[in-house]
Amino acid sequence: MRRHIGLVHLESNFKVSQTRHSCDICSRSYIWPSDLSRHKRLAHASLIPQFACDICVYKTNQKRNLFKHISARHSQAFNLRHKCDKCSRSYRSSCGLSEHKRLEHAAVIPQFFCDVCEYKTKRKNMLSRHIIACHMQTSESKHNCNTCSRSYRSLSGLSQHIRLEHAEVKVLFNCDICGYRTKRKPNLTRHITAKHVNKLYLSRT
């Protein structure tokens, strides 16, 4: 509205050649300084933000575009989810639904016990991870953080910890619809899908 009034109704008609704000890196120019700042942040920043869709290969440098993409391209997929007939859970694949029923609603639910401590789980792979992480690791084999007492089994885990917890500029992904904030992009996508896309779909049905 502010742009419309300035361009169409102001007597000076903005004298575009005198009032445009030019980018000092490329040939783009803008009427409003805020648009120039956004352009530099999205096009010329040393670290250009990337918001990637977890469902397909779509990428964008604007968070609102990711939400629009998910709403337009993938909201219908929720109608095709495989729903459990015993609870409210649903899954994108029949395999996920079958595993859920086997672990949650079977007559005899499987249990895997640790022989060293009291840990137990429904999943065999989780028991293996527990044994490796808690009973087979030595202090020499873990990757220790130089800033705090945390340690990780892999360098990638340590690198992610340092980037999320100890970076000079911590990355935060904000939801444009509500006040939700997270350090992890996949968490933002899950939040948008669970809290806003599902509601959008249900409101249309």
Both tokens of 197, joined, read 């896309």
116-127 confidence digits (pLDDT tens): 788 888 888 888
Q: Look at the chain and report how many structural domains it folds into.
A: 1
Q: Is 110 inside a domain boundary?
A: no
Q: Is 115 inside a domain boundary?
A: no
Distance CA 151, CA 158 (A): 7
Q: Is 35 inside a domain boundary?
A: yes
Q: What is the pLDDT of residue 10?
A: 60
Q: What is the pLDDT of residue 16?
A: 45
The enclosing domain of 39 has a CATH number of 3.30.160
pTM over 0.85: no
Q: Is 199 inside a domain boundary?
A: no
14-45 confidence digits (pLDDT tens): 444 456 788 888 888 887 888 888 888 777 87
Both tokens of 107, joined, read 């007559």
Q: What is the pLDDT of residue 196?
A: 78
Q: What is the pLDDT of residue 17?
A: 44
Q: Is 167 inside a domain boundary?
A: no
Q: Is 21 inside a domain boundary?
A: yes
Q: Is 65 inside a domain boundary?
A: no
Distance CA 3, CA 85 (A): 53
Q: What is the pLDDT of residue 199?
A: 62
Query: Domain limits at 36?
Result: 17-48
Q: Is 100 inside a domain boundary?
A: no
pLDDT < 50 positions in the chain? 12-17, 201, 205
